Amino acid sequence: MKGRPVPSSNVVPNVAKNIERIMQLEEEFLRRRSGVDRLSDSISRFAGSIVFVAAHVVFFAAWIALNVGAVPGVGPFDRYPFNFLNLAVVLEAVFLSTFVLMSQNRQNHRADHWAHLHLQIGLLAEQETTKILQMLQEVCDSLGLRKAVKDKELGEMVSETAVDVLAQELAQNLDRIRQQGESSTEILVENRH
């Protein structure tokens, strides 16, 4: 594609192919955004820039200078406490926060997508590694390497990993940690009273 960075020649071809595929996935994600998504991303990006901050400093300084009578020949149109300016700032904050939240939701969706992809790749790698270990164990067995075949750790690794059991165990441990954290917080609160 035009304008896309090309991996350097120092990168191994398989790595370059992986980089290219990741770039394709990113481009596809960006291409699927709606017009509103693109607009909210642009607004969020601009609102997070130093140009935005500088423009606001200049705008507010000018507004205040005009409305306190510091500019000769210009009469105040929004006297202190600058009610119209306050209204404009509040409206801007509402719209900006909405655009930022829209962009964050999209980024969270994108992060979830990548997390699911990582999980799938991890599961495939686990299955492939288990199969390789099983084959290696059979090779050791056929060569008469009994000590390697009887290795307890290898025996544990050769069995398939039950992902659902791991997920359930992880969830239970996380729940226990959260409950301990809540209990610690409750104890701290009670000790303060």
Phi, psi of 169, deg, nearest 5: -65, -45
User: Alpha helix locations (H) across 5-82?
Assistant: 13-31, 35-47, 50-67
Q: 98-138: per-residue pLDDT in tens?
A: 999 999 998 998 899 889 989 889 888 988 998 998 898 88
Which of 163, 164, 165, 170 minimizes the C-alpha distance to 127?
163
Average pLDDT over residues 82-91: 96
State the pLDDT at residue 3: 57
pTM given for the model: 0.61
CA distance 141 to 150: 9
Q: 30-86: per-residue pLDDT in tens?
A: 888 889 888 988 999 999 999 999 999 999 999 999 999 888 888 899 999 999 999
Average pLDDT over residues 165-190: 78
Write the DSSP assignment of 143-179 as a string of letters.
TT-HHHHT-HHHHHHHSPP-HHHHHHHHHHHHHHHHH
List the chain domain ranges: 1-32, 33-161, 162-193
Tokens 């441990």 correspond to 173
Residue type, 115: A
Q: Is the pLDDT of residue 1 over 50?
A: no
Structure letter (DSSP) for residue 1: -
Q: 143-156: per-residue pLDDT in tens?
A: 888 787 777 887 78
